[in-house]
Structure 1
Amino acid sequence: MPGDEQAGLPTGEVARRLGVSPVTLRSWERRYGIGPAHREQGRHRRWSAADIALLEAMCELTSQGLPPAEAARVAADRRACQDPSPARGEPPTGGGAKPSDLAGDETRLLVRGLVRAADRLDAPTLQESLADAVDLWGVEDAWEAVIAPTLRAAGRRWATVGEPYVEVEHFLSWHIAAELRRRAYPVARQGPVALLAAVPAEDHTLPLDALAAALTGRGIAFRMLGASVPPPALVHAMRRLGPAAVVLWSQTSATAMPGLAAAVPNRMFGVAGARRRPLLLLAGPGWRGVKVPDCAVLPQSLRAAVDCIGARAGLGVPSNGAVTTKA
């Protein structure tokens, strides 16, 4: 950095150059140890060229779908290999905080801030807050501790206010979908793939967007069919892909299709003598109380669904007690 920049840049300027918010940088420093290696007492933090290079690596890794805590570890390891001197700062410790580490009041404040931004149709604030939440905690934790409660709060307000609140809920849903889809990009298929689809007549797909983003973060290939998938289209896609797992989303019991669920496990793939059936995950509250195949898995959370698919793909183990198997 030429001239005065050799002394380091302030947080606001670094955030502007990297295209992230100052809040994100401060949160990375607090939670993952990604901060200025040298500080002078009584002065604002100044970021050196080496500090900014570490931030650039962090941004690159998170843009590739790595959870922030893992990206911080990898970025710090890279810097340690380039300059092992302890003066350059220590790698992050503690693995990063999760929303569950926050007090209940703090979590409620985050949710309330998102709902208020939606009430004002304040797109910049809403999008920045959503991005910060996912940057800090990853898709799975941000969804379960912040985003899903925000959607439920907006739904309760819609039930109270009525039709005049529809535009707010649509506005909120669109921005959440935009943030999740920004983080869900195709992983090259070098192994098992998961097929994601909503049952016919089901137009609510935000949880599928969250699942796609979370699978991306785990490096698991998926193919998204989206809302209201006709049964023949699902069958054709299964025949083309031979998926390791099929996820069928249903928001309400009115859209759940037991017949379609029963047909999925009967589809076998592979060469003769080594045929296999796809793992069937029936996701969403619509499947509660509906008769489903004994082999079906009913994940109780986003993390449980990702763990289950990861285990099927050979990339992890299912979390204990997080899924219900009809057996």
Structure 2
Amino acid sequence: MTAPTAPTAPAPAGLTTGALARRLGVSPTTIRSWERRYGIGPAHRAPGRHRRWEPEDVAVLEEMCRLTARGVNPAEAARIALAGAGPEPPKARTAGTARTGTASGGNTLPVGTVRPECRGLARAAVRLDAPEMARILRRSVDELGAVVAWTEVMTPALRAAGRKWVAEGERYVEVEHLLSWHIAAALRRVADRPEPVPGPAALLAGMPSELHALPLEALAAALAERGLPFRMFGPALPPEALLEAVHRTGPPAVLLWSQVTRTADRALVERVVRTAWGPQGARTQPVVLVAGPGWAGPRRPPGTLRPRDLATALDLLEGLLR
């Protein structure tokens, strides 16, 4: 005879707080803080066991994350999330009085005093919540326009991500990469136009050693919103390719972006300024704009304009293209 096998204890159902934190992209401290402050806790907790979050509990926290990512105050987000849990929320969730305040946790991007859209974008970026990032960015560009969306929503979030990974080592590089990709996608959705715009087009390019192109993407989107023609050559355009592009397209204006001083090649810019096309006696040269922090300082390349920000560059280009 075979001895009967002793029954095994059933595995505990649900997620631990640590597993749930990893799934949501927040810290366990944040989840515990939300539970303590706003009454968002697991519906069931067996005596002597760690918290186990059931699917209905997870749904409430997911809604809480979505709302805070959109800039809703945590206390209000908790109220809305709990109200959607059903007509009779579990006792464990409603026990006690929710305290007001902001949930704490290490997985945050400090963005300072900014628009709600920027706060939501930063929260979604830390969680690596790609769909929510895409929604916030799309809505920001559509409702605010490319210039305001870039300066007041995207740029502060990017700077916060950059400061975070510098302070934390390599830990937050993935946040910055994902955020940058979605910002570029949101801007390019506006810049990509199915029909060409008539008239001479501005030439936009990054300097040969310049790998940062997001400000150019923002400018392209803003030009598209105004119905102005442009050709975008992106970052790190080689010197001879830049000169050839200017000669072949004959742009009335050329904007060259440099993020850092080492990529600001003054000699190359002077060659662009001297580039001319057209028949003898009617030769034409472009107006060259040098943009970006790389051109900071009292001396700019001779024969160029230096817009101080995106809005100024946009106005200058519109005047040249109209």
TM class by shorter chain equals 0.5 to 0.7
1:261 corresponds to which of 253, 269, 273: 269
Counterparts of 2:300 and 2:206, CA distance in 1: 16
Match status 1:168 vs 2:175: yes
Counterparts of 1:235 and 1:290, CA distance in 2: 26
- Count, aligned residues: 212
Question: What pairs up with 1:128-207 in 2 under 5 angstroms?
Answer: 128-186=135-193, 188-207=196-215
Q: CA deviation at 1:110?
A: 2.6
Instruction: Write out the 4+ residue segments of structure 1 that deviate beyond 4 Å after TM superposition.
Output: none
Contact between 2:197 and 2:227, CA under 8 Å: does it hold in 1?
no
Match status 1:299 vs 2:319: no
The amino acid that maps onto 2:137 is L
Aligned residue for 2:191, secondary structure, equals: coil
Q: CA deviation at 1:272?
A: 3.0
Partner residue in 1 for 2:233: 225
Counterparts of 2:151 and 2:197, CA distance in 1: 28
The amino acid that maps onto 1:122 is D
Q: Tell me the TM-score normalised to structure 1 length.
A: 0.62
- The answer for unaligned runs of 5 or more in structure 1 is 1-22, 24-103, 315-327
Q: Tell me the TM-score normalised to structure 2 length.
A: 0.62
Question: What pairs up with 1:39-118 in 2 under 5 angstroms?
Answer: 107-118=114-125
Greater Rg by CA: 2
Counterparts of 1:237 and 1:290, CA distance in 2: 29
Aligned residue for 1:280, secondary structure, equals: strand
Counterparts of 2:247 and 2:257, CA distance in 1: 19
Contact between 2:276 and 2:284, CA under 8 Å: does it hold in 1?
yes
Partner residue in 2 for 1:208: 216
Contact between 2:270 and 2:302, CA under 8 Å: does it hold in 1?
no
CA 1:122–1:243 in 2, change beyond 3 Å: closer, same or farther? same
Q: Which moved more, 1:123-132 or 1:153-162?
A: 153-162
Q: CA deviation at 1:189?
A: 4.7
Q: How far does the alpha carbon of each residue in 1:122-174 deviate from its partner, in whole angstroms, 9 at most, with x for none?
A: 01111100111111111011111111111111111122212111011001000
- The answer for unaligned runs of 5 or more in structure 2 is 1-66, 68-110
Q: CA deviation at 1:108?
A: 4.2
Aligned residue for 1:163, secondary structure, equals: coil
Hey, which of these two has a bigger chunk of helix by percent?
Answer: 1
The amino acid that maps onto 2:129 is D
Counterparts of 1:305 and 1:224, CA distance in 2: 15
Q: Which moved more, 1:164-173 or 1:185-194?
A: 185-194
The amino acid that maps onto 1:138 is G
Aligned residue for 1:135, secondary structure, equals: helix
Contact between 1:265 and 1:280, CA under 8 Å: does it hold in 2?
yes
Q: Which moved more, 1:260-269 or 1:284-293?
A: 284-293
Counterparts of 2:161 and 2:264, CA distance in 1: 24
Alpha-carbon RMSD across the aligned residues, in angstroms, is 2.0
Q: Which moved more, 1:142-151 or 1:268-277?
A: 268-277
Match status 1:279 vs 2:287: yes
Contact between 2:137 and 2:183, CA under 8 Å: does it hold in 1?
yes
Aligned residue for 2:147, secondary structure, equals: helix
Counterparts of 2:196 and 2:231, CA distance in 1: 11
